[in-house]
Amino acid sequence: MRTTRQDNHETGICVSCFERLSEYIDNELGDSGCSEVREHLEQCVCCSACYKTLKKTIELAGCQEDAPVPENLSNRLKQILFLN
């Protein structure tokens, strides 16, 4: 019987993988950490989808130009922050 990537979804392992995705993408994990995440991504369709989505989000965000926050929004955010 052939094992699919879907069969290897385990909540505890997936949470650990998810917590390290940003570090994995930024090449901030050591060799063993990268290997662990890479192996899990190859086996788990759920985590692989999260990885691809995060990587695409980072790519799209990097294409955006910096723009100042509109003054009315800035004022509203300051009010919210200072109320807490």
* Predicted confidence (pLDDT) per residue in 10-53, tens digit: 688 899 999 999 999 999 999 999 999 999 999 999 999 999 99
84 domain residue, yes or no: no
For residue 82, tell me if it sits in a domain. Answer: no
34-38, 65-69, 74-78: least confident range: 65-69
Residue 77, domain member (yes or no):
no
In a domain, residue 17? The reply is: yes
Is 15 inside a domain boundary?
yes
The answer to whether residue 50 is domain-embedded is yes
- pTM > 0.75: yes or no: no
DSSP 8-58: G--HHHHHHHHHTHHHHHTT-S-HHHHHHHHHHHHH-HHHHHHHHHHHHHH
Is 27 a domain residue? yes
Total domains in the chain come to: 1
Structural domain boundaries, residue 37: 5-64
Domain annotation covers residue 13: yes
Coil, strand or helix: which one is 81? helix
User: Which run of H or of E encompasses 77?
Assistant: helix 71-83
